[in-house]
């Protein structure tokens, strides 16, 4: 119930904030092509960036992340913080917040609105399952995500996709509904066509975002290898591939930011992560080339 409440509260805040912005600008959908484009752009980009701005807050509450500072007295937690601190210094980044969430999944993720306001969190499952050299490589992978600005880039891409989906769906609905012979039928036709078009275009847009998400995993693997050592990065990916594929269902929005993702139920094109075997092969090829 707490997660449901937070989800509803977050979405209410997003809707309220964007509605206020639109009201101040005097923008209303249906007033013309340009106002419609502005409306869709603000909704598409605004929602994405508000989600990015509160991403650390939501991650902590959605996953129950407990922050550590290197002075807990727990050897594993203190090692975790010191290792992230060291890797961040190597990457010339501000040390992110570091946390642990209680979960059987063998995973870790990075999130946050900027390089200087980020969070790296690991599951209790990965602390138990991995050797320290392997876990260091996982942390280096997450630091690379932060250094590459992947969270912001994904937000920009998702915002653009949202804007185009909303705008094109409304154009299609306006053209189709314009052929209706009565006003009531036109309104109903517009609504139905818009909803169907948004679903279809949204699926098409997800192919683009998923493709970029897969690409950035290869880059983060290479970055992790540069920071923590190529063989350690390979060993970490191998440990993930050989271990149980348990995925924590909490905070699904964070799934694309984890080091390991569950296989797509539909098709590889919709997966946010390449298969681990493919990532291992690509990383080995990259190590040989360099």
**For 240-265, what is each residue's pLDDT tens digit?**
988 766 677 676 667 777 777 655 55
Q: Catalytic residue at 142?
A: yes
List the structure tokens of 160: 């653009």
* Alpha carbon distances (Å) from 54 to 58, 68, 118, 209, 260: 6, 20, 11, 20, 23
Closest CA to 245 of 255, 235, 254: 255
pTM value is 0.82
* pLDDT at residue 27 is higher than 60: no
**For 45-87, what is each residue's pLDDT tens digit?**
888 888 888 889 988 988 999 999 989 899 999 999 999 999 9
* pLDDT at residue 180 is higher than 60: no
106 within 8 A of 83, measured Cβ to Cβ:
no
Cα-trace Rg, the chain: 22
Active-site residue identified among 142, 183, 217, 231: 142
């Amino acid at each position: 119930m707490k997660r449901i409440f937070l989800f509803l509260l977050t979405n209410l805040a997003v809707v309220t904030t964007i509605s206020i912005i639109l009201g101040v600008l005097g923008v209303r959908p249906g007033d013309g092509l340009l106002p419609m484009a502005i409306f869709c752009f603000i909704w598409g980009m605004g929602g994405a960036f508000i989600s990015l701005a509160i991403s650390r807050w939501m991650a902590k509450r959605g996953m129950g992340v407990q922050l550590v500072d290197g002075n807990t007295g727990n050897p594993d937690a203190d090692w975790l913080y010191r290792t992230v601190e060291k890797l961040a210094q190597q990457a010339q980044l501000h040390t992110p917040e570091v946390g642990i969430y209680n979960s059987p999944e063998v995973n870790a993720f990075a999130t946050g609105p900027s390089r200087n306001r980020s969070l790296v969190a690991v599951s209790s499952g990965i602390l138990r399952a991995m050797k320290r050299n392997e876990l260091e490589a996982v942390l280096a992978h997450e630091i690379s995500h932060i250094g590459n600005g992947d969270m912001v880039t994904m937000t920009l891409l998702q915002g653009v996709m949202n804007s185009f989906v909303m705008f094109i769906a409304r154009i299609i609905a306006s053209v189709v509904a314009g052929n209706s012979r009565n006003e009531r039928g036109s309104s109903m036709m517009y609504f139905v066509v818009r909803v169907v078009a948004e679903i279809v275009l949204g699926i098409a847009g997800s192919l683009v975002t998923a493709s970029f998400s897969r690409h950035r995993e290869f880059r983060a693997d290479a970055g992790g290898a540069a920071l923590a050592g190529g063989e350690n990065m390979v060993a970490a990916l191998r440990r993930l591939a050989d271990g149980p594929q348990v995925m924590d269902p909490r905070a699904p929005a964070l799934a694309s930011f984890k080091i390991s993702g569950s296989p797509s139920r539909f098709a590889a094109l919709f997966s946010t992560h390449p298969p681990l075997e493919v990532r291992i092969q690509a990383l080995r090829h990259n190590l040989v080339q360099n």
